[in-house]
């Protein structure tokens, strides 16, 4: 696909996709000798990757004390819920591998998604060490993303005002447009885009229809999410690939 700002990498199946994603995460970690920030995603797509990261050789390649784990969007539910994005990541790999102080969940104990969003923005700003994002100094080493069947990414849904946010790093989303229909908290496009690499995982035949529209360049949230460093990568398995697609 001719798209100078986005690289498409195809994988035979979800196992290969998870291994490729894990290798890219390790490469980003290896490239930074200081504190590393990885922003995880929700949904079902990253679960296989999370399981892999808890196993050798990946687990012993990660300097756990130097890596900080954030989440790109959260459902406004308790962390013990199966719907909680960070809760899932914790139970699959973080709690057994990472120091608790390096895990940065969105607090859903706040009164509402907006105050939860403000609190998370403060956490992010304190980690970043500044209140404004600077070009050339990304907040994250890598941001993991998924794409929903309506073209949403993180909890940025088509037509939602949160998509056009330019100042705030995190916002509350009172209404999800897809299941699960719970309020959300989401990082905004500028915050997600402040990364050395944005890595989408798209898998399964259920994603073929939306992937066809996205690769056609339709103006959908998942197409608007880009790394400000010019490094946006889509990892796609064969089952999700549109008919006749040829990777460049």
Give residues in contact with ligand 6PG (CB under 6 A). 41-45, 73, 75, 85, 146-148, 152-155
Do 116 and 106 contact (CB within 8 A), yes or no?
A: yes
* Residue 25: CB minimum distance to ligand 6PG, A: 16
Q: Which is nearer to ligand 6PG, 68 or 75 (CB)?
A: 75
Q: Which is nearer to ligand 6PG, 147 or 228 (CB)?
A: 147
Q: Which is nearer to ligand 6PG, 32 or 107 (CB)?
A: 107
Q: How many other C-beta atoms can be found within 10 angstroms of the C-beta atom of residue 104?
A: 18
* Residue 145: CB minimum distance to ligand 6PG, A: 7
Nearest residue to 14 via CA among 242, 238, 245: 238
E-only strand ranges, 20-152: 36-40, 67-71, 73-75, 140-146
Q: Which is nearer to ligand 6PG, 41 or 231 (CB)?
A: 41
* Residue 121: CB minimum distance to ligand 6PG, A: 18
Q: Which is nearer to ligand 6PG, 153 or 227 (CB)?
A: 153
Q: % helix / strand / coil in the chain, to the nearest 5?
A: 35, 20, 45
Residues near 219 by Cβ (< 8 Å), separated by ≥ 6? none
Q: Which is nearer to ligand 6PG, 20 or 85 (CB)?
A: 85
Residues near 181 by Cβ (< 8 Å), separated by ≥ 6? 175
Nearest residue to 200 via CA among 59, 54, 62, 40: 40
Chain position carrying tokens 């699959």: 92
Q: Which is nearer to ligand 6PG, 61 or 213 (CB)?
A: 213
Do 119 and 105 contact (CB within 8 A), yes or no?
A: no
For the record, the structure tokens of 4 come out as 């100078």
Residue 45 is given by DSSP the state T
């Amino acid at each position: 696909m001719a798209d100078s700002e986005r690289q498409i990498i195809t994988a035979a199946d979800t196992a290969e996709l998870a291994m490729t994603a894990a290798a890219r995460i390790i490469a980003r970690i290896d490239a930074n000798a200081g504190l590393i920030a990885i922003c995880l995603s929700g949904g079902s797509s990253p679960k296989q990757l999370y399981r892999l990261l808890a196993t050798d050789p990946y687990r012993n390649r990660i300097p756990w004390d130097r890596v900080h784990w954030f989440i790109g969007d959260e459902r406004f539910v308790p962390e013990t819920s199966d719907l909680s994005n960070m809760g899932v990541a914790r139970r699959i790999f973080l709690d057994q591998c990472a120091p608790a102080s390096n895990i940065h969940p969105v607090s859903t104990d706040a009164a509402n998604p907006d105050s939860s969003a403000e609190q998370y923005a403060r956490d992010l700003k304190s980690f970043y060490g500044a209140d404004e994002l600077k070009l050339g100094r990304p907040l994250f080493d890598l941001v993991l993303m998924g794409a929903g069947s309506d073209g949403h990414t993180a909890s940025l849904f088509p037509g939602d005002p949160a998509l056009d946010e330019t100042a705030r790093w995190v916002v509350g989303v009172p209404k999800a447009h897809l299941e699960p229909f719970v309020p959300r908290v989401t990082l905004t496009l500028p915050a997600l885009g402040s990364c050395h690499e944005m890595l989408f995982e798209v898998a399964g035949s259920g994603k073929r229809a939306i992937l066809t529209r996205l690769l056609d360049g339709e103006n959908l949230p998942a197409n608007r999410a880009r790394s400000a460093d010019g490094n946006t990568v889509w990892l796609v398995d064969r089952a999700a690939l549109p008919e006749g697609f040829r990777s460049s």
